[in-house]
Amino acid sequence: MSVEFGNTLAALRESRSLLRNRLARLAAIDPSTVTRLESGERSASRDVVERLAVALDASDEERRALFATAGFLPDDAATVLDEPKLTRLALILANHGMKLGDRRTLTTYIDLAISHAEALGYDVPS
């Protein structure tokens, strides 16, 4: 259970002038769930966090904040994903419908980028 997630959710909801009941309807969840999430009495599943993000029309930064405070995105990953192009790449790679050959091609390009950074002298942890 995360009070931090609840605070983040409440702040986003309030910034959009949404009542809890309206957010619950938009996210297709029970209104009492929104109340318990915001109070920190209940943890959110990844699916619920995603539905809330969509219902809130959350920006990439707001979406990362929701997932991070819900415990689904480590802080260091959230920092890396502050780069919009990396966020796009991560979302593309997260597409479960991606063909295996396409995934291999993209990961080859990633390997090349890492090799190039190492050749330039940057320390790239494994």
> Taking Cα atoms as reference points, which of 90, 73, 29 lies closest to residue 55?
29
pLDDT, tens digit, 9 for 90 and up, residues 52-110 = 999 999 998 899 899 989 988 766 676 777 788 888 888 888 888 999 999 999 999 99
Q: What is the CATH number of domain 3-72?
A: 1.10.260.40
Q: For the purposes of burial, counting CB atoms within 10 Å of the CB of 60, is it exposed (0-12), middle (13-18) or buried (19 or more)?
A: middle
Domain definitions of the chain by residue range: 3-72, 80-119
Instruction: State pTM to two decimals.
Output: 0.64
What is the C-alpha separation between 28 and 34, in angstroms, rounded? 11
